[in-house]
Amino acid sequence: MSCDISTLTNVLQSGDPEQAQTTLNACVEMLTDPTLWYWTVAFTIVCAGVGALIGKYKNAVARDTALGLILGPIGWIVSLLLPAQKPKPKCKACGKAVDAGDKHCRHCGAAL
């Protein structure tokens, strides 16, 4: 017996408890199939990877990786529609990234 919407609707309307139990067992077996979970994990990793590539291009790797991981292909579209982030300015003395409004480098203390 298969586990799809039409089968579930027919079983619920028939009122036969044995057929309902058989259908429930088929649905549980399908959901616990390791192959389904392997594909789900692989798809999630690919979505996060594509999001990271988009983020690398737009200078927002963490943001776009999270969008790809959570929303999948819809997250890719959202990532492409969001504006690119400007790179943080760097300290001239030590070369580390600082915030735009800082007067002194938090790493080496040099005036910016």
What residue spans define the domains of the chain? 1-32, 39-81, 84-112
From CA 54, how far away is CA 83, in angstroms rounded? 12
Q: pLDDT-based confidence at 1, cuts 50/70/90?
A: low
> Phi/psi class of residue 87: alpha, beta or left (left: φ > 0; alpha: ψ in -120 to 50)?
beta
**Which residue, 18, 20, 22, is CA-closest to 10?**
20
- In angstroms, the CA 44 to CA 71 distance is 9
pLDDT of residue 37: 93
> Which pLDDT belongs to residue 75?
95
Question: Which of the four pLDDT bands, split at 50, 70 and 90, describes residue 81?
Answer: very high
pLDDT tens digits, 16-75: 888 888 888 988 998 898 999 999 999 999 999 999 999 999 989 999 999 999 999 999
Distance between CA atoms of residues 69 and 49, nearest Å: 8
pTM: predicted TM-score of the whole model, two decimal places: 0.63
Give the distance from CA 5 to its chain's centroid.
27
